[in-house]
Amino acid sequence: MNTLLWLRTDLRLHDNPALAAAAENGTVTALFLASPGQWRRHGDAPAKVDFWLRNLRELAGDLGALGIPLKLLTVAHWDDAPRAIAGFCQAHGIAQVHANTEWAINERRRDAAVADALQADGVDWTLHHGASLLRPGTVLTGKGECYRVYTPYARTCRERLRTAPLRPLPAPRAQAAPPWAADPLPDAFDGFPPPSDAVRTLWPAGEAAAAERLAAFADGVIDAYKDERDFPSLPGTSCLSPYLAAGVLSPGQALRAALAANQGELDSGKAGATTWINELLWREFYQHLLAAYPSLSMHRPMKPETAAVPWRDAPADLHAWQYGKTGIPIVDAAMRQLLALGWMHNRLRMVTAMFLSKNLLIDWRLGEAWFMAQLVDGDLAANNGGWQWSASTGADAVPYFRVFNPLSQSRRFDPRGAFLREWLPELAHLDDQAIHDPSPMERVAAGYPAPIVDLAQSRLRALEAFGNLPAV
């Protein structure tokens, strides 16, 4: 029997439930459905699409070595997916299609339409679970409800993972190849120009590259993770987010590496490993929310009353934020890191997101979209979750009156200005104090802008805007 593996954000051989099932049931063909028009409408970053393509190329080689050809179909819109996939199955005598679930609402609608089309043709369609440690919708409160707060959610996850540890799935065995060849892959997808060499070097493609990065992190850096993860000038975090977002690395592989570094303990033992496991559970939590609340896919706030925040229409301020010209050094350095690398340190994602949504009082959705348009690790669940957390519109909301002061954050997490010097060369000559908030004369001399907003006054403006919201 011919089976089809429909690859999406699960670009790996190992620990891939859909691939394992397709291989168990027959002769596998793999398929990737490219939809550059959809990706553009979705606002995906060129760096991310290039990362997908580079990983597909690696994966095509790995699959080919097992006798599994990778076919490529291109559609203008996801509405065309059912016809394209059903047509492919008919043309190739495919009896079963296997894929791993994606939880955003558009993807779920697409899959439902594909399932209908396949069913009409008598082709079996099975969705598997491979994007998170625990299947969204299965981690519930004692009352059977969906958790809206991280801490009890994470506690329940740990209990589940302790009582039923996850088993890794091996790569499938080699098969006698079906009678059709793999498709060539393009150099780039339409409308997604290749990123800089720096971006490609920083994010090498393939499962082997991901495994090497994971092993290097789990072999040493993880021990200092709790102490160093908030300092953007230190290599204190794993930089695995693009691999997890594209599914080049499975969350189970990440968890097992952390457990191995921590004598099998989930929440005791070494502080570094347990803190890192908590971050994997944050990723898990946001997927669980995305699956439970379709409104998140439509960028609606979790706290309904915050839909009435009087966001400012301030395109010049938004532009200054996007391009690192706000006159607040830590914000500008972070935004320039994002533009240059397609990635930003987590501490700075929080600082820049709060600065936009609180100090500038600009709608968090504009920031969410800008991040998505730049990030190599852009992921709807994590990005939406991080933005709603920062803007105090989210489920597990920080109280709206918590507004990070970017200057205090800068002094605390970049005390010697090392990160600022790397991204703001015009300020590099200033001393460790001045660099966080240069004087007007130092700014003029360096050609660096004055702050576009007064931090104290804008904080009060945000508190008033949130404090006066009518109850819903």
Write out the residues near ligand FAD by the rule CB under 6 A.
Answer: 229, 237-241, 244-245, 279-280, 282-283, 286, 346, 349-350, 353, 371, 375, 377-379, 382-383, 385-387, 390
Closest CA to 198 of 341, 336, 378: 341
Between 96 and 253, CB nearer to ligand FAD: 253
* Least distance from ligand FAD to the Cβ atom of residue 348, Å: 9
Q: Which residue's CB atom is positioned nearest to ligand FAD?
A: 386
**Helices 329-341/315-322 angle, 10° precision:** 70
In angstroms, rounded to a whole number, what is the distance separating the alpha carbons of residues 141 and 292?
A: 13
Please give the Cα distance from 243 to 226 (Å, whole number): 22
Q: Which is nearer to ligand FAD, 286 or 413 (CB)?
A: 286
Q: Rounded to the nearest whole angstrom, what is the least distance from the CB of residue 321 to ligand FAD in the complex? A: 13
The residues assigned a catalytic role are: 279, 282, 311, 346, 364, 387
Bridge partners (DSSP) of residue 352 are none
Environment class of 64 (CB within 10 Å of its CB; exposed 0-12, middle 13-18, buried 19+): middle
Shortest CA distance to 389 belongs to which of 87, 106, 149? 149
Closest CB to ligand FAD among residues 27, 275: 275
Q: Which is nearer to ligand FAD, 69 or 378 (CB)?
A: 378
Q: Measuring CA to CA, which residue among 15, 23, 296, 50 is closest to residue 132? A: 15
Measured CA to CA, the distance from residue 161 to residue 159 in angstroms comes to: 6
Please state, as a whole number, how many other Cβ atoms lie within 10 Å of the Cβ of residue 344. 24
Q: Which is nearer to ligand FAD, 283 or 459 (CB)?
A: 283
For the CB of residue 162, give the shortest distance to ligand FAD in the complex, in Å. 19
Residue 247 or 386 with smaller CB distance to ligand FAD: 386
CB of 174 to ligand FAD, least distance (A): 31
* Displacement of CA 75 from its chain's centroid (Å): 24
CB of 177 to ligand FAD, least distance (A): 34
Distance in Å, CB of 200 to ligand FAD, minimum: 18
